[in-house]
Structure 1
């Protein structure tokens, strides 16, 4: 069903872009904006997406909120971006989520610190931000949502959805080795002999 919705959006944008004459083709930022909407709606981005994505991600400001506003204004140059509420919702989802919801960005932006008895410990939160959920689950996007491996207290982290099974196996192997090392240390009396 989601693919059907995405296909109909692409078809609508193609019809809008279909020229009566060759001179009527979109050009410049209007063309790049339409291409960016299409490319950022899909997890698969062919090389033809490079110019529009480079233009989109080159838009920045000092504050993230201003960057989002400028990027939204750019995407709104595409006539299809405001054709109905669903397309407006797609543009909102893209401007808030694109470039911020991949596993690498999540591992960076969701890094937190907590004080422990041994000092300060870092961990990565396992709750996906609402803007990522809106972007990944929009009716017009076809993006595989990153997945969280493990638990925050034991080095959990976000991974690409396609690599989840391998990452989970590696994580479980590491946890088992850590638990075994801890068990051996405890059974040898290492922890119990610290004060002697």
Structure 2
């Protein structure tokens, strides 16, 4: 986690260990996992210590994506630091973007279809035109707004990023880059 933004890391770590007014309790259960998930999902590095919180976060699934996002945001919001300055924006960006902005997922959700009319001259003297509709599949080269918000949120650090390579009409796609 050494590549995390130092201010966020220090802040969340201190909050993770201080829970009561007497400053003697350590956060446990979902409250602890929530704080750790914020820290781990804000970082491009995810050491093994992140596994329990990341697993808990991504285990939250509902039938509709909007419900999954809402429940994941609710989970992150139980961390005491989630209400502090700039943190609600971070929680929102994580809930909307984490796990949804890698190349594999972008290639899946940004898949589009369009129908184009292809015409060609036919007949002995090419004086007739025959047209057919052709369906073309392509991947949209513009990131969704939730990915831009997640990546450009001031408190996140992403090691793996994605870029679009090629042209949409010639097999263009999203690829992960370091």
Fold shared by both chains (TM-score > 0.5): yes
Whether contact under 8 Å (2:16, 2:35) holds in the other structure is no
Partner residue in 1 for 2:125: none
Partner residue in 2 for 1:157: 173
Give the drift of 1:15: 2.0
Whether contact under 8 Å (2:37, 2:76) holds in the other structure is yes
Q: What is the distance in 1 between the residues matched to 2:100 and 2:56? A: 16
Q: What is the distance in 2 between the residues matched to 1:128 and 1:52? A: 27
Q: What is the distance in 1 between the residues matched to 2:60 and 2:16? A: 24
Partner residue in 2 for 1:38: 39
Matches within 5 A, 1:165-184: none
Give the drift of 1:145: 2.9
Give the drift of 1:16: 2.1
Q: How many pairs were matched up? A: 156
Give the drift of 1:18: 3.3
Q: What is the distance in 1 between the residues matched to 2:16 and 2:40? A: 16
Whether contact under 8 Å (2:16, 2:36) holds in the other structure is no
Partner residue in 2 for 1:13: 12
Query: The residue matched to 2:113 in structure 1 has which SS?
Result: strand
Matches within 5 A, 1:37-186: 37-84=38-85, 86-116=86-116, 117=118, 119-143=134-158, 144-162=160-178
TM-score in terms of structure 1 length: 0.75
User: Which structure has greater strand proportion?
Assistant: 2
- Unaligned runs of at least 5 residues, structure 1: 163-196
User: Which structure has greater helix proportion?
Assistant: 1
TM-score in terms of structure 2 length: 0.83
Deviations 1:156-175 (A, max 9, x none): 1001122xxxxxxxxxxxxx
Give the drift of 1:149: 0.4
Q: What is the distance in 2 between the residues matched to 1:102 and 1:125? A: 14
Structure of greater relative contact order (alpha carbons < 8 Å, 6+ residues apart): 2
* RMSD over equivalenced CA pairs, Å: 1.5
Q: What is the distance in 2 between the residues matched to 1:18 and 1:79? A: 11
Structure 1 consecutive aligned stretches of length 4 or more whose deviation exceeds 4 Å: none
